[in-house]
Chain A
Amino acid sequence: MRTVSKKVCLLGDFAVGKTSLVRRFVYDLFDDKYISTIGVKISRKTVAVPGEDGAVVELTMMLWDLAGSEDFSQIRGSYMRGSAGAILVCDLTRPESLLSLEGNLADLRQIAPEATIILVANKSDSPQQHLLLAQVEEAAARLDAACFITSARTGENVEEMFRYLGRMLVEL
Chain B
Amino acid sequence: MNSLVTQLILSEQMIAYALADSAGRVQSVYGDPDILWGCYNPTNVIGQSLLALLPELVGSEEAVQALLAGEIERLRFESLNREDSQGHTRYVTLVLRGYRDPQTETVGLLFLVQDVTAHGIVQRELMQRHNELRLLQERLERQNLELVASNTELRLMNEIRSSFISVTAHELRTPLTSIYGFLELLQDTGAENLSAEQSEHLGWMEESTQRLLVTLNELLEAARIDADRLELVLRPTQMHEIVDEAVLEFESRLSARHQQLEMAIPAHLPQALCDPARIEQVLGHLLSNASKFTPEGGTVGLAIHPTISGEFLRLSVSDQGHGIDQDEESRLFERFYRGQQVRKNGTAGAGLGLYITRSLIELHGGEIWYESKPDQGSTFYVTVPVATPSPAPTVSANGRSCPTL
Q: Residues of A at under 8 Å CB distance from B?
A: 5-7, 14-15, 34-42, 44, 60, 62, 67, 69, 71-72, 75, 78-79, 81-84, 94, 96, 130
Contacts and interface: CB of A to CB of B under 8 A. Distances in A.
A5 B76 CA distance: 21
Contacts of A62: 55-56, 58-59
Which of A40, A41, A42, A94 counts the most chain B CB atoms within 10 A? A42
Interface of B: 55-56, 58-63, 75-82, 91, 120, 123-124, 127-128, 130-132, 134-135, 138, 142
A34 B58 contact: no
Contacts of B61: 82
8 contacts: A34-B135, A36-B130, A39-B120, A60-B58, A62-B56, A78-B76, A82-B61, A94-B138
Contacts of A7: 58-59
Given A38-B124, A39-B80, A71-B127, A82 B63 contact: yes
Given A14-B134, A15-B135, A71-B127, A39 B78 contact: yes
B81 A82 contact: no
A67 B130 CA distance: 13
A62 B91 CA distance: 18
Contacts of A6: 58-59
A142 to B, nearest CB: 23
Contacts of A69: 127, 130-131
A145 to B, nearest CB: 20
Contacts of B130: 36, 69
A60 to B, nearest CB: 8
B111 to A, nearest CB: 15
6 smallest A-B Cβ distances: which pairs? A39-B79, A82-B59, A7-B59, A41-B81, A36-B127, A62-B58
A65 to B, nearest CB: 8
A5 B58 contact: yes
A88 B62 CA distance: 24
Nearest to B146: A130
Given A40-B77, A40-B80, A75-B78, 17 more contacts: A6-B58, A7-B59, A14-B134, A15-B135, A36-B127, A36-B131, A38-B79, A38-B81, A39-B79, A40-B79, A40-B81, A42-B56, A75-B79, A81-B75, A82-B62, A84-B59, A94-B138
Task: Pick the most buried of A6, A39, A71, A84: most chain B CB atoms within 10 A of its CB.
Answer: A39
Nearest to B57: A82
Residue from the set A35, A38, A67, A75 with the largest chain B CB neighbour count within 10 Å? A38
